[in-house]
Amino acid sequence: MNFNTCRQFLGYAWLVLVLARLASATSSQAQDYYLFTSFRGNGEDGLHLALSTNGYHWQALNHDRSFLKPVVGGFKIMRDPCLAEGPDGTFHLVWTSGWTTEKGRIIGYAHSKDLITWSEQRAIPLMEGEPKTRNIWAPEIFYDKAKARWLVYWSSTVPGKFPGTDSTGDDRYNHRFYYTTTADFQEFEESRLLYNPGFNVIDATLFQAGEKFYLFFKDERKTPVKKNLRYATADQPDGPFGKPSEPFTGDWVEGPSVIKIKDEYLVYFDHYAEPQYYGAVRSKDLQHWEDCSKAVSFPPGQRHGTVLRIPQRIAKGLQVTQ
């Protein structure tokens, strides 16, 4: 190899090294985006969205105006909106559509590719095999990759079902978790029991960590007062789930939503008693917890929703609505 050839080779090698370092730096600096759904008031105006790049500081989108106003159900409300992205990039949304089942045992449903343009809303009937069901609250969805299906789960009170704990909740509500499965949000299996920890519970949310599935939920017992968050684990998303953990939050909190950011697990919650605020606890191992509510900030009036990681193109599209 002569001198000029050697110099050209070294020049090319240097250029390749520089480009590789630039690509690595760009990749390491790729921005993460997280989205939080929520509602305001009693849920009359529908879906509110907030965006974050670190999970701690959340900025309302669309000037904190609704992205989707509820039109299904007799109550015409959208509470506890739960959003999840499917394997094909479609986002699916479910929500509490009423306080009681007097106007139908249903939840609300819609889907979207960009979170701006939405499908026609539909009412999904549930608990048809339990006609005495009093309520269907806080539905959530979880994609079961192993079986290529969605779990839809919620809390309901069925009078007389668990009589031993009928007096432990508000107004004799005595909830347990129920679920159904679907591949396409068109056809659904019969509703059945998901988890009975032996006491009154609401606001379940599923989270996978490694090979384990965590079911976070609110202990809804009022006599004596609990109103805090616990979890149970299973090897499959539909259980069976083991014994509930000890509480890992204070009292008067609900609506847990979970995400892992870097090496930290965050469980957000709605502290609904005075003073009302949105807070969080964090953990490195899902066993030891620290309250970090003073480090997080949310739009005023944020109420029970869910958190998820979203692609950059979706985040950029949502920011255009600002």
3-state secondary structure the chain: CCHHHHHHHHHHHHHHHHHHHHHHHHHHCCCCEEEEEEECCCCCCCEEEEEECCCCECEECHHHCCCECCCCCCCCCCEEEEEEECCCCCEEEEEECCCCCCCCCEEEEEEECCCCCECCCEEEECCCCCCCCCCCEEEEEEEECCCCEEEEEEEEECCCCCHHHCCCCHHHCCEEEEEEEECCCCCCCCCEEEECCCCCEEEEEEEEECCEEEEEEEECCCCCCCCEEEEEEECCCCCCCCCCCCCCCCCCEEEEEEEEECCEEEEEEEECCCCCEEEEEEECCCCCCEECHHHCECCCCCECCCEEEECHHHHHHHHHCC
For the entire predicted model, the pTM comes to 0.91
CA 125, 127, 132, 133: dihedral to nearest 10 degrees?
Answer: -90
Gap between the Cα atoms of 136 and 11, Å rounded: 68
Q: Which residues contact 302 (CB under 8 A, 6 or more apart)?
A: 36, 38, 40, 48, 50, 58, 270, 278
> Could you identify the residue written with the tokens 């609990």?
226
Round to the nearest angstrom and report the end-to-end CA distance of the chain: 60
Domain 31-320 has CATH 2.115.10.20: yes
In order along its 322 residues, the chain shows pLDDT tens digits of 554 544 454 455 444 444 445 444 444 457 999 999 999 999 999 999 999 999 999 999 999 999 999 999 999 999 999 999 999 999 999 999 999 999 999 999 999 999 999 999 999 999 999 999 999 999 999 999 999 999 999 999 999 999 999 999 999 999 999 999 999 999 999 999 999 999 999 999 999 999 999 999 999 999 889 999 999 999 999 999 999 999 999 999 999 999 999 999 999 999 999 999 999 999 999 999 999 999 999 999 999 999 999 999 999 999 986 5
**Cβ atoms within 10 A of the Cβ of 105, count?**
22
The letter for the amino acid at 171 is: D
pLDDT at 29: 54
Beta bridge partners of 96: 79, 107
pLDDT at 268: 98
What is the phi-psi region of residue 163: left when phi exceeds 0, alpha when psi lies from -120 to 50, beta otherwise? alpha
Cα Dmax for the chain: 92
| Domain boundaries along the sequence of the chain | 1-30, 31-320
Residue pair 168/174 in contact (Cβ under 8 Å)? The answer is: yes
Gap between the Cα atoms of 141 and 196, Å rounded: 19
